[in-house]
Amino acid sequence: MRVAHAGLVAAALFIPLSAQESQPKPPSLLRIVREQIKEGHEVAHEAIEKKEVEASRKANLPWFIMAMEAVTGPTEVWFVQPFDSHADIRKAFEELGKRPALGAELEPLNRQDGEQRVGSRTLIARYRPEMSYRADEFVQTLPKMRFIHIVIIRVKPAYDGVVREVAHIGIAALEKANDERPLLTYQVISGDVNTYFLIRANANWADLDKEPEQTQALFAAMGRDVSKYVDLVREAVSEEESMSFSLSPEMSLVPKDFAAVDPKFWTPKPKATPKKQSGEKTEKPPASK
Query: What band does 59 get if pLDDT is binned at 50, 70 and 90?
Result: confident
Q: For the chain, give the longest Cα–Cα distance.
A: 86
Q: Residue 162 belongs to what domain range?
A: 12-261
- In one-letter notation, the amino acid at residue 264 is K
pLDDT at 18: 44
pLDDT confidence bin for 109, thresholds 50/70/90: very high
Q: How confident is the model at residue 191 (pLDDT cuts 50, 70, 90)?
A: very high
Number of domains in the chain: 1
In a domain, 186, yes or no: yes
> Distance between CA atoms of 50 and 115, rounded to whole angstroms?
16
Q: Does any domain span residue 88?
A: yes
What CATH number does residue 170 fall under?
3.30.70.100
CA-nearest of 70, 83, 60 to 14 is: 83
pTM of structure: 0.84
Query: pLDDT tens for residues 111-148?
Result: 999 999 999 999 999 999 999 999 999 999 999 999 99
pLDDT band for position 192 (cuts 50, 70, 90): very high
Three-class secondary structure of residue 66 per DSSP: strand
Which pLDDT score is estimated for 22? 53
Reported as a pLDDT band with limits 50, 70 and 90, residue 60 is confident
Q: What is the pLDDT of residues 14-53, one digit of tens each?
A: 444 444 445 678 989 998 889 999 999 999 999 999 998 8
In a domain? residue 121: yes
Is residue 269 domain-resident? no
| pLDDT at res. 136 | 94
For the chain, give the mean pLDDT: 85
